[in-house]
Each structure stands twice: as C-alpha cells, then as structure tokens.
C-alpha cells in the first residue's frame, strides 16, 4: 500500500502551497507530447455481440450521432454580461452570509463591475477546461480503440472518438465566437491527463477517463444545464450530456467484468489511481488562472474564499455525484478493507454512493432520440 505522499507528491492533500506550486510552464506552446507506453492490440475474434451490453451501447451510439454545425443554432446571440448577471453578482451581503471577510484584500474595493468581470472570466475559464478535457477524452478514447482486447469495446470506443471530436469542436466554436477569451489548460488537469495517457494498462485509461474525468464532467454539465438560461449553451450541454452518459456507462460495463478477476494488490493500484484522480480534479477548481488574470494574489484570494473545510464545499462535493456510485459499482469503494471509501470520506463525497450509477441511467440523457421522437410525434 502506497502512502498519500507517494500518490500525490505532497505530504497533505490540502497543502495549498504545494497545490499552487503546480503551474503551467509552457502556456504559449501549441503542442504537448506524452508517450502513451502501450501496445496496440489486434483481435481476430470478430464475434459481434459477445458482450451484449457493450453491443447494445454501440448500436445506441451509432443512432445517436449529431452534427454540431447543423443541430445547434449558432445564430443565437450570446450576451456574456447578461449570463453573468443571471448567475448573480457577488456583494457584501452574500459574503457576509457565507462568513467571508474581504477586509484588507484586493477584492475589498471591488464593485459590481469587477465582480461582473470575475463572473465572465470564470465562465471562460470553465468552458476552456471543458474544451481541454474533451480533447483529453479524444486522445484517451483513441488509445482505448488501440489497446482494449475486445471487438465490441473497440467498436464502441470508435464511436466515442467521433463524439469527443465533436465535443472539442463545439466547445471551441462557442468560446471563439460567443465568448471573450480562452484559458490554457489547468496544470492539475494536464497532469491528470498525462498520467492517464502514459499508463500502459488499458483499463487505467478507462478508469481515469471514462469513470473519473467523464464522470465529473457529466455532473458538472448537469449542474450547468440546470442553472444556465442562455439557450445556445443549454442546447449544447444537452447534446453533449447525452454522449457523456453513454461514455461513462461504457467504462462501467467494461471495467466491471475485468475488475472481478483482479487480485487485491491489482485493485489497490486502481483505488490509489482513483484517489489521485479525484484530488487532481478537485485541485483544478481553485481557478488560480482566473485570479492571476485579474491581477489578484492567488493565495490571498483562495485563502479568503476557502472558509472552513474546503472538502465540505457542496458544489465540489456534488461534482463527485457520478464518480462515487460508479466506483462502488466497480468494487473499488470497498476493496482492501474500504481503502477508497475512507479516502472519499475525507474528501466528503461518500454520501453519493447509493445514487444511480451511470451504467443504468444513460438512456435518460439521450437527447438525439428524444428530439427524433418528438419530431415523429409532431
């Protein structure tokens, strides 16, 4: 069993100085290279449907393809200031209720204009990280096509490669044509993507991307879909979520069979990887790049707003609402004496363990099928 310091590269998961010490050093570079250290696997067993649930998912994915250029209404005008105002502009009354004291900080003199700019920059940052994460999923799923040994999984993963290309495309277009700017990839997200890509084991690509990254993305997209009033973004999220739910289901269905045959030591490797991924994803939501762009001392800003235990932040906790039940479904939560359960207890996210796992709920998100059914009924 590896200790926490060896897993995370720091003695304590909540060490802010160590978290902020991880930064991008090549933000102006357009190409980032990682060795994927994996063997490409051919299979000569072409029996389609040997894994019926994967085959069903593949057939579903073929019918659910959509075109971002024509299925989204890009003629809709987007007013980012209006979007930010609809989210609510922060003020002294709000901070007072939250126990946040801005006295003596750079934000103490901010008025509505500065807080509006902060909201807009936060929108641009979040959308940029979604875009970068989708490219990570694009690369990871292409690797799964190469490395997974089952033909049904190769077939489905190939449809996901197309899905992820489409997601990168629509997020990039939205940022470029409807928003005021973009951000480079967050260092913690990039570190996680690098770890996922560089691991030679095919199931680790599944676990890191399909379960952890895509699971958090699905929860984040769901929260954004419920809160945004901007019609184009809402439409975009609805279509992306319909794909993402299938992607996470793909990971659950594939890994459940494989993990049932692993030893305790092999399961511990996966548990440690899941814990590291969870912490890396949590760390990236500090938005340090936003504070830097606004000229605010990053440590001062984060310490000001991290009142109490940041592991009790309900927003950050809810982001794990898809990950935890899926880890439980795979046996990761309770293997080896509940090692991962104890770690998730510390992160404050185990309350989601009995929520519906994505292997069962993806049909609810099928936006393409719903639109086609509505059109046929009309």
Q: For residue range 335-349, what is the model confidence (pLDDT) as tens digits?
A: 999 999 999 998 889
- How far is Cα 191 from Cα 187, in angstroms, rounded to an integer? 6
As a whole-number percent, the residues of the chain with pLDDT over 70 amount to 90
Q: In which band, very low, low, confident or very high, does the pLDDT at 269 lie, cut at 50, 70 and 90?
A: very high
Any idea what the Cα angle at residue 166 is, between residues 165 and 170, rounded to 5°?
A: 120
Query: Residue 356 burial by CB count (10 A; 0-12/13-18/19+): exposed, middle or buried?
Result: middle
Six-digit token string for 226: 């419920």
Tens of pLDDT, residue by residue over 298-308, are 999 888 887 55
The pLDDT of residue 92 is above 60: no
Which has more confidence, 200 or 371? 200
Tens of pLDDT, residue by residue over 210-221, are 999 999 999 999
The pLDDT of residue 282 is above 60: yes
Q: In which band, very low, low, confident or very high, does the pLDDT at 310 lie, cut at 50, 70 and 90?
A: low
Do residues 87 and 115 make contact, with C-beta atoms less than 8 angstroms apart? no
What are the backbone dihedrals phi and psi of residue 56, each rounded to the nearest 5 degrees, phi first?
-60, -40
pTM: 0.90
Give the pLDDT score at 8. Answer: 87
Give the pLDDT score at 95. Answer: 73
DSSP readout, 242-297? HHHHHHHHHHHHHHHHHHTT--HHHHHHHHHHHHHHHHHHHHHTT-HHHHHHTT--
Query: Residue 40 burial by CB count (10 A; 0-12/13-18/19+): exposed, middle or buried?
Result: exposed
CA torsion 175-180-181-186 (nearest 10°) is -80
DSSP readout, 296-339? --HHHHHHHH--S-GGG-HHHHHTTTTHHHHHHHTTTTTHHHHH
The pLDDT of residue 243 is above 60: yes
Which has more confidence, 314 or 266? 266
**Crossing angle of the two packed helices 52-63 and 231-259, in degrees rounded to 10:** 160
Any idea what the Cα angle at residue 135 is, between residues 280 and 252, rounded to 5°?
A: 65
Give the pLDDT score at 291. Answer: 93
What is the topology classification, in CATH, of domain 86-377? Ferritin (1.20.1260)
The pLDDT of residue 124 is above 90: yes
């Amino acid at each position: 069993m590896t200790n926490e310091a060896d897993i995370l590269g720091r003695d304590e998961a909540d060490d802010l100085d160590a978290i902020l010490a991880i930064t991008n050093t090549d933000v102006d570079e357009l190409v980032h290279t990682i060795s994927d250290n994996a063997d490409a696997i051919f299979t000569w067993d072409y029996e389609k449907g040997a894994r019926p649930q994967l085959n069903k998912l593949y057939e579903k994915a073929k019918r659910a393809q959509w075109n971002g250029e024509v299925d989204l209404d890009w003629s809709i005008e987007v007013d980012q200031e209006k979007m930010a105002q609809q989210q609510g502009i922060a003020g002294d009354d709000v901070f007072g209720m939250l126990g946040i004291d801005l006295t003596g900080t750079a934000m103490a003199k901010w008025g509505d204009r500065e807080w509006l700019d902060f909201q807009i920059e936060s929108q641009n940052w979040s959308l940029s990280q979604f875009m970068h994460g989708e490219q990570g999923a694009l690369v990871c799923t292409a690797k799964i096509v190469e490395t997974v040994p089952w033909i049904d999984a190769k077939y489905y993963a190939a449809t996901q490669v197309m899905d992820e290309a489409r997601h990168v495309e629509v997020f990039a277009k939205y940022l470029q044509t409807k928003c005021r700017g973009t951000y480079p990839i967050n260092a913690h997200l990039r570190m996680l993507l690098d770890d996922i890509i560089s691991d030679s084991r095919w199931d680790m690509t599944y676990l890191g991307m399909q379960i952890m990254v895509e699971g958090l993305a699905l929860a984040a997209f769901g929260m954004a879909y419920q809160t945004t009033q901007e019609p184009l973004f809402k439409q975009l999220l609805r279509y992306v979520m319909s794909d993402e739910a299938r992607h996470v289901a793909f990971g659950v269905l594939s890994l459940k069979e494989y993990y049932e045959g692993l030893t305790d030591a092999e399961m511990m490797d996966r548990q440690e990887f899941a814990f590291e991924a969870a912490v890396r994803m949590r760390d990236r939501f500090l938005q340090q790049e936003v504070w830097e762009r606004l000229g605010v001392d990053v440590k001062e800003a984060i310490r000001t707003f991290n009142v109490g235990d940041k592991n009790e932040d309900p927003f950050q906790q809810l982001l794990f609402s898809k990950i935890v039940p899926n880890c439980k479904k795979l046996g990761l939560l309770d293997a080896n004496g509940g090692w991962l359960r104890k770690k998730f207890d510390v992160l404050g996210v185990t309350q989601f363990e009995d929520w519906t796992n994505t292997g069962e709920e993806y049909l609810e998100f099928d936006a393409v099928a719903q639109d086609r059914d509505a059109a046929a009924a009309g």
